Amino acid sequence: MSASAPILDPAEIYRKSFAIIQAEADLARFGADARSIVVRMIHACGMVDLADDIVVSSGFAGAARTALKAGAPVLCDAEMVRHGVITRLMPASNEVLCLLNDPQVREIAARKQTTRSAAQVDLWADRMGGAVIAIGNAPTALFRLLDLIDAGAPKPAAIIGVPVGFVGAAESKDALVADPRGVEFLTVTGRRGGSALASSAVNALAGGLEGHG
């Protein structure tokens, strides 16, 4: 018995993938504005049960999309997140930045005895106001972001806080959910997260569920 021919048309692959996700995932608790983001994130990881762990504030999608349309930058904790963002979808040629390799970061990390991921967040301060933050790797970056907001740093428009890992990841996301500091947010509770989830959320905000890779 011969195998069925593979689907080769990119648009059809996306259409069928999203249709499967919408049929298999429990999306009932998400509003229409957030649903496309959740679907895109599930598509990035292949796990429909991810929907069970996603927490999204009621105004997240609207605040993030408004910020992007106004030209807000996207600040990323890792180069993998930055490279995962499809820049041609950005509605206002938005800057997509990761400052992890800025020459100042290593010195800040050494002086404060912290990670480079956390240290780079200090360099976001003059860009943070009204920005979209995408953290996909480092719990220390999310913790530092919350600390800076507590200290009076300008608030971003929205936080995508989905760091992955076994040490600090769940705790950093729990801290965001418990007190988002008046900022709209999206997170995935527990250990799961990662660059692909963070960048896919940004791409969904910028372009919805159209067939782009």
State the catalytic residues. Answer: 43
Strand 74-76 and strand 54-56: pairing? unpaired
Rounded Cα–Cα distance for residues 10 and 14 (Å): 6
Mapping DSSP to helix (H, G, I), strand (E, B) and coil, where does residue 184 land? strand
Rounded distance, CA 108 to CA 132, Å? 23
The burial class, CB within 10 Å (0-12 / 13-18 / 19+), for 144 is buried
> Quick check: 51 and 25 in contact, CB under 8 A?
yes
Q: What is the DSSP string of 48-87?
A: GGGGGGEEE-TTHHHHHHHHHHTT--EEESSHHHHHHS-G
